Amino acid sequence: MIRTAALLPALLLMLPVLMTGCSNAEGMDSEAMEAWETLKVDFDAGMENVEDMEQYTEVINTFNPRYEALAEEYWGTEAGFDARMWLMQMGTMDMEDAEREAATSEGLDALFTEYRRSEHLSKLAMYYDDLPTERQDWLREGSPHASVRAATIYSLARFADGQLSYGGDEVDRDDMMAQRRSNLELLVSDYHDTPLRDSTYGVKAELMLSAHDPSVLAIGKKAPEILGTDVDGNEMKLSDYLGKVLVIDFWGDW
């Protein structure tokens, strides 16, 4: 059970990621889409004034039955998929470990049964980097959709990043680094043009492969070159602003 209010900011940051699954109505009937959007608006309103974990848990528990009902009524649509994902991610926050594991396992069984050959499984692959091996292998190699296979490979690379940063002494760092590089190189070679949000898997993988060594990012060091595009789509680089005051906002969608 979650007992620390310190987790609240991180949980709130996750909400936009968890709630964006149905932004595209393609493949979803209009009734399911309308039901999802209505529930999303109501949930956002309920979370608006949340200030501590007790209030957070209360809102989650209030909306659990509504997401369960939506998942059942529109099972087989993208709305049903996303409602089940919400229940697995958000709806289990207040459960004890064993109860949460059971609920997650039940949800995974349902999703793999109904949506096994659906492109929606790319969302599952992106969120769960610790799926059972047989399911992870199927997503990576058996799915008919490049987006699902690429999402699984990308998720494995990000999992390796987490293990290298926080896994402790028990992690075989050489093996983990080799797995990470292998997966990223596979994204570059086989999934370079497969879309990933506002970019592609290949571009993201190339950036992860060429990340700066921490030693060059220390305080007092000259900032390494940064290449990118501005809000108007024009190419730019950090050195263009040499001698000027520049604020750079780095952000993530975790």
- Residue-wise pLDDT for 199-223, tens only, equals 999 999 998 998 777 777 788 888 8
Per the domain annotation, does 148 fall within a domain? Answer: yes
Give the model confidence (pLDDT) of 88-106 as tens digits.
Answer: 999 898 889 999 999 999 9
Query: Is residue 4 very low, low, confident or very high in pLDDT (cuts 50, 70, 90)?
Result: very low
Per the domain annotation, does 195 fall within a domain? Answer: yes
Q: What is the residue-averaged pLDDT of the chain? A: 85
Q: Specify the 3-state DSSP secondary structure of 70.
A: helix
Two structure tokens written together for 248? 């750079």
Q: For residue 245, give Cα distances in angstroms to 29, 113, 228, 234.
A: 50, 55, 18, 20
Domain end position, chosen among 115, 141, 174: 115
Q: Is residue 18's pLDDT more than 60?
A: no
Same structural domain, 78 and 19: yes
Q: Specify the 3-state DSSP secondary structure of 128.
A: coil
Give the model confidence (pLDDT) of 144-153 as tens digits.
Answer: 999 999 999 9
Same structural domain, 88 and 186: no
Burial category of 48 from C-beta neighbours within 10 Å (exposed 0-12, middle 13-18, buried 19 and up): exposed
Note the pLDDT of residue 253.
57
Would you say the pTM of this structure is higher than 0.75? no
Note the pLDDT of residue 202.
96
Count of domains forming the chain: 2
Same structural domain, 161 and 60: no
Same structural domain, 4 and 108: yes
Q: Is residue 226's pLDDT more than 90?
A: no
Note the pLDDT of residue 19.
46
Note the pLDDT of residue 246.
83
Residue pair 249/242 in contact by the 8 Å Cβ criterion:
no
Domain that holds residue 73: 1-115
Same structural domain, 78 and 181: no
Give the model confidence (pLDDT) of 112-133 as tens digits.
Answer: 999 999 999 999 998 888 888 9
